[in-house]
Amino acid sequence: MSEQEYGGDQIQILKGLEAVRKRPGMYIGSTSSRGLHHLVYEIVDNAVDEALAGFCSHIVVEVNDGEIITVSDNGRGIPVDINHDAGKPAVEVVFTVLHAGGKFGGGGYKVSGGLHGVGASVVNALSEWLEVQVRRDGKIFQQRYERGNTMYPLKEVGTYEGENTGTTVTFKPDGEIFEDTIYDYDVLKVRLRETAFLTRNLKITLRDKREGHEKEDIFHYEGGIKEFVEYLNRGKEPLYSSIIYCEGIKDGVQVEVAMQHNDSYNDSSYSFVNNIITPEGGTHVAGFRSAITKTFNNYARENKILKDTDPQLTGDDIREGLTAIISIKIGEPQFEGQTKQKLGNSEARGAVDNIVSEQLTYFLEQNPQVAKSICEKSLLAQRARDAARKARDLTRRKTALESTSLPGKLADCSDKNPENCEIFIVEGDSAGGSAKTARSRATQAILPLRGKILNVEKAREDRIYGNAEIKAMITAFGTGILDDFDISKLRYHKIIIMTDADVDGAHIATLMLTFLYRFMPELIRQGYVYLAMPPLYKIERNRKIWYAYSDEQLNKIMTEIGRDGNNKVQRYKGLGEMDADQLWETTMDPKSRVLKRVQMDDDDLSEVDKVFSTLMGDKVEPRREFIEENAKYVQNLDI
């Protein structure tokens, strides 16, 4: 190929990648920290495809100094032969042609997909520079790109010995594109662990090589999604010891399901299509639900656990306390709905329904003890749901009749425009009293809660509706809950949880967040929920006052003002130790306070779920471990 031709191709290709640089959000969702991390998943997903094809057993992901990422696999190496359509090596096509995936190298190049199904070329376009090394046919090939531009034709840079084939990609995300270029090891860790669970036998090594942060995790699960279910149920009490497992292929859909019930009341099931989480479900989830509803009802009838006069068990009854992973692989996934996140392929419904029905029926016949305990739990759920429905109808009718009757303890604000209004949920009556005195009456409402609020992880629905503190929050917010939830009725655009800055306060805040997460998740998802950050210390010197919100800050202030006998440092043990003025200045005044917005990332749903269940569940040991492991979380409760 002559230089001329090379240059000619280049111009056209640049146009494609230029589009990515102009509108990065269209290709990777956002240019925030989230988009930055997606670059890694996109590259890793390509290596996972090689593992799914059966040619790769180990992927190594490294975060280097300068926030440079290296992803390496021991697969066959990206092909280097000339691609006839593009007139250049296949590997160069992968990195320089938009949506190159699937167009070469035999069908099914793209299996695991990646976000929006975009490819390595998008990562390349959004990197200051990227280098690829391919080890194939005894030779090592290399190419470098800068902001998507090819720097030199693919070149041979050496040879290797033995079976050392593979691909290594190193890239530096472009600081001109990303608002944030710092990688969070824990964010990568959650996602890569999930990927390893979903790809049985694949070993993924994650390594932080940044100076002062060196660490490593190895994820390798021989049990695949069975181990994923075990992991999610860690910290909960399983109802039986086995993990129910079904797998098979039908109509081109590869199906894998693992499940186990625990003694909680929530459904903690997650579904994946081509290794990507589908928070909105779709046909694969519909097939799964239909299968378990049918199979358990049949079993319960045939074995006289359900009498002829009993009503059918509903899907909700059977899914109470269920942890399940539904993972399918499909050639051409079609996504529907407003956010295009809901699987639409109808063949997926039939495939999952069929495979699960058949194998679950067999499992129940072979394991009558397990079958019996699930049926009995479902029966209990049916009865509780009945009672809850009655209790709920009652609260609903009541609110309809007296729709203006707000809780008596609520000190409401006078402004009626929710956008201007905030509500402080305050732990304890005494702090509640100071807050009422301190507040700005026009826009700040105070709802004091007495003592610990009900742990909704450990209570059935009917008890939850009877709880006074929870009822007060529901009426004050105005939105209703669960299926009745209506965000347009929200009465305050900031819901601020204000608790003591100690372990008890953190526990109470977690209880409240758990309630919100289970009953009004949209409030968290849409960013209406905040944590107030009361100061930990007050420093006084020559009649001047400073407040410190962390130990580091205390140190900084002390260094600045001088460490001598003239400083008086007070450690606040609770909100109650501050008078109204201090509370206003340090924690409530929009001009000077610190608020933390509670965040929820749909990608990490299983992680959020595990955080709540672990902190709120019955088993003490994992909770202690968890708190120790996640001291950061307990300190600032920033989820």
Instruction: Look at residues 461, 463, 458, 520 and name the one whose alpha carbon lies nearest to residue 487.
Output: 520
Nearer to ligand TSJ by Cβ, of 78 and 531: the residue is 78
Binding of ligand TSJ by 583 (CB under 6 A): no
CA distance 442 to 434: 17
- Helix 605-616 / helix 503-519 crossing angle, nearest 10 deg: 130
Examine the residue annotation and report whether 502 is marked as an active-site residue of this protein.
yes
Shortest Cβ distance from residue 139 to ligand TSJ (Å)?
Answer: 15
Please identify, among the stretches 71-79, 190-198, 314-322, 498-506, the one whose residues bind ligand TSJ according to the rule CB under 6 A: 71-79
**Contact assessment for residue 546 and residue 511, using Cβ atoms and an 8 Å cutoff:** no
- Interaction residues for ligand TSJ, span 346-405 (CB under 6 A): none
How many whole angstroms separate alpha carbon 620 and alpha carbon 617?
8
Task: Kindly indicate which of the ranges 23-31, 68-76, 153-161, 219-227 contains the residues binding ligand TSJ, using the contact rule CB under 6 A.
Answer: 68-76
CB 112 within 8 A of CB 49: yes
Total residues at the site for ligand TSJ (CB under 6 A)? Answer: 17
Under the binding rule (CB under 6 A), the answer on residue 273 touching ligand TSJ is no
State how far the alpha carbon of 92 is from the alpha carbons of 6, 10, 19, 20, in Å.
12, 11, 18, 17
Nearest distance, CB of residue 81 and ligand TSJ, angstroms: 9
Q: How far is the CB of 366 from ligand TSJ (least distance, A)?
A: 40
CB of 56 to ligand TSJ, least distance (A): 6
Strand order in the sheet with 322-330: 244-250, 253-261, 322-330, 268-273, 276-277
Give ∠ CA 340-341-345 in degrees, rounded to 5. 85
Question: What are the residues facing 146 on neighbouring strands?
Answer: 129, 149
Nearer to ligand TSJ, 78 or 529 (CB): 78
- Per annotation, catalytic residue among 504, 551, 581, 629: 504
For residue 40, state whether it binds ligand TSJ (rule: CB under 6 A).
Answer: no
CB of 131 to ligand TSJ, least distance (A): 11
Query: Shortest distance, CB of residue 50 to ligand TSJ, whole angstroms?
Result: 3
Task: For tokens 């956002």, name the residue.
Answer: 30
- List 502, 551, 579, 638, catalytic entry: 502
- Nearest distance, CB of residue 91 and ligand TSJ, angstroms: 8
**CB count, 10 Å around CB of 15?**
10
Residue pair 345/283 in contact by the 8 Å Cβ criterion? yes
Q: Which CB sits closer to ligand TSJ, 114 or 617?
A: 114
Q: Does 47 bind ligand TSJ (CB under 6 A)?
A: yes
Q: Is 38 in the site for ligand TSJ (CB under 6 A)?
A: no
Cβ atoms of residues 446 and 426 within 8 Å: yes
What is the smallest separation between the CB atom of 21 and ligand TSJ, expressed in angstroms? 18
Helix (H/G/I), strand (E/B), else coil: 437 = helix
Give the amino acid at 462: D
Stretch that binds ligand TSJ, among 69-77, 187-195, 526-534, 630-638 (CB under 6 A): 69-77
Alpha-helical (H) ranges within 142-234 are: 185-198, 225-232
Q: Which residues pair with 155 in a beta bridge?
A: 142
Report if residue 173 touches ligand TSJ, rule: CB under 6 A: no
Helix (H) or strand (E) holding 538: strand 537-541
**Residue number with CB closer to ligand TSJ (56 or 446):** 56
Cβ–Cβ under 8 Å, residues 268 and 609: yes
Show contacts of 460-463: CB within 8 Å, 24+ apart.
460/265, 460/384, 460/388, 461/265, 461/384, 461/385, 461/388, 461/391, 461/392, 462/384, 462/387, 462/388, 462/390, 462/391
Residue type, 267: D
Which token pair is 74? 């021991």
Q: 459 with 465: CB under 8 angstroms?
A: no
Query: Pick the catalytic residue: 49, 256, 500, 603?
Result: 500
**Minimum separation from the CB atom of position 55 to ligand TSJ (A):** 7
Nearer to ligand TSJ, 196 or 611 (CB): 196
The interface region with ligand TSJ, picked from 4-12, 45-53, 531-539, 593-601 by CB under 6 A, is 45-53
Q: Check residue 73 for interaction with ligand TSJ (CB under 6 A).
A: yes
Helix, strand, coil abundance in the chain, percent, nearest 5: 45, 20, 35
Shortest Å distance, C-beta 90 to ligand TSJ: 8
- Least distance in Å: CB of 289 to ligand TSJ? 35
Kindly indicate which of the ranges 39-47, 265-273, 379-387, 609-617 contains the residues binding ligand TSJ, using the contact rule CB under 6 A.
39-47
Residue 2: helix, strand or coil by DSSP? coil
User: Which of 24, 35, 75, 89 touches ligand TSJ (CB under 6 A)?
Assistant: 75
- How far is residue 71's CA from residue 552's CA, in Å, rounded to a whole number? 35
Instruction: Give the residue with the Cβ less far from ligand TSJ, 134 or 292.
Output: 134
Q: Which of 27, 109, 296, 547 binds ligand TSJ (CB under 6 A)?
A: 109
Choose the catalytic residue: 45, 227, 427, 603. Answer: 427
Query: How far is CA 555 from each of CA 343, 551, 574, rounded to the nearest angstrom?
Result: 53, 6, 21
- What is the per-residue binding string for ligand TSJ in 78-107, x denoting contact by CB under 6 A? xx--------------x----------xx-
Among 20, 43, 63, 511, binds ligand TSJ (CB under 6 A): 43
Per CB under 6 A, does 71 bind ligand TSJ? yes
Nearest distance from C-beta of residue 169 to ligand TSJ, angstroms:
4
Query: Is 427 labeled as catalytic in the residue annotation?
Result: yes
State both tokens at 547: 């407040």
Of the two residues 137 and 237, which places its CB atom closer to ligand TSJ in the complex?
Answer: 137
Nearest CB to ligand TSJ, comparing residues 104 and 492: 104
**Candidate segments 43-51, 453-461, 496-504, 577-585, binder of ligand TSJ by CB under 6 A:** 43-51
Q: Please list, residue by residue across 322-354, b when 16 or more beta carbons sit within 10 angstroms of its beta carbon and e when fewer do.
A: bbbbbbbbbeebebeeeeebbbebeebbbbbbb
Determine the Cα angle at 279 with ends 67 and 597, to 5°.
60
Query: Per rule CB under 6 A, is residue 615 in the interface with ligand TSJ?
Result: no
Residue selected from 74, 83, 96, 167 as contacting ligand TSJ according to rule CB under 6 A: 167
Name the nearest CA neighbour of 56 among 132, 215, 163. 163
Residues 118-157 touching ligand TSJ, rule: CB under 6 A, are 120
Residues 482-541 that bind ligand TSJ (CB under 6 A): none
Q: Catalog residues that contact ligand TSJ under the rule CB under 6 A.
A: 43, 46-47, 50, 71, 73, 75-76, 78-79, 94, 105-106, 109, 120, 167, 169
Active site residues: 427, 500, 502, 504
